[in-house]
Amino acid sequence: MTASVHRTAGLPLAAVVLAAGLTACSTLTGVTSPADARAAAARDGGPAGPVDCATAHCVALTFDGGPSAPTPELLDILRKEKVPATFFLQGKGHTDKYPQTVRRMAEEGHETANHTWSHKDLTKLDPDQIRAEIEPVQKDIEDATGKRPTLMRPPHGTTDDEVSAVLEKLGLAQILWSVTAKDYATTDTALIERRVLDGADRDGIILLHERYAGTIPAVPDIIRALRDRGLTFVTVSQLMAPAHPRPGKVYRP
């Protein structure tokens, strides 16, 4: 999976295309890291979250494209390991089909967020079409959990100024990632695990998809290995606390 930001309004430096997998050498003008947002809010005197990621070595585990039939198995693992995750949920065939799983996510302390209705590239849509991709998922999640999401992840990580303007009006901040196992392209559990462990670090955001066959079996070893490195698992919002993600803004480690 690759990510890019383009179609900017008068800001050519913001039209930087990220390297495949969002490698550490990628740069993107106009993006804020969770650590920088957290530090700025702390200087203003904001309270830390349940985990103070200014002192703890935090990492956020995120899953895209669910819920799906295998998701309860993943939730069982996360509950056993006491790991909170952030789920960027897709609409068609997912939030509309598995509302009870969405409800369980929230009840068990996970963060639920928006990943659009049908996974279209938002930069190729007009504002009304963007809203049509976002609003049904907002409603499904609110119906299941009682709470509207404040975070979303644009499909493929592709966004631009026009998309950001629509999402600002919808109250949604955009969350990209620092490491992905590209588990949509392999069923090799050992490879998925190795890719995550090679890229994961403090203040990172890990992207996985639980609906692909190789992913869930990799999760227990990923959790144990990262804990052995001294990392603490948090949700994306907890990673940024005391900052509150700003609607429309793009965040990436």
Q: Which of 6, 209, 228, 244 is catalytic?
A: 209
Q: How far apart are CA 45 and CA 98, in angstroms?
A: 40
Q: 232: how many CB neighbours lie within 10 A of its CB?
A: 17
Distance CA 35, CA 42 (A): 10
Alpha helices, H only, the chain: 34-43, 71-81, 99-107, 127-145, 161-170, 189-199, 219-228, 236-240
Q: How far apart are CA 116 and CA 133, in angstroms?
A: 5
- Residue 169 CA to chain centroid, in angstroms? 20
Whether residue 209 lies in the annotated active site: yes
| CA dist., res. 7 & res. 27, Å (int) | 17
Quick check: 215 and 192 in contact, CB under 8 A?
yes
64 is catalytic: yes
Tokens, residue 246:
């700003």
In this structure, what DSSP letter does residue 16 have? P
Helix H or strand E segment including 233: strand 232-234
Which of 44, 64, 76, 201 is flagged as catalytic? 64
* Residues classed as catalytic: 64, 209
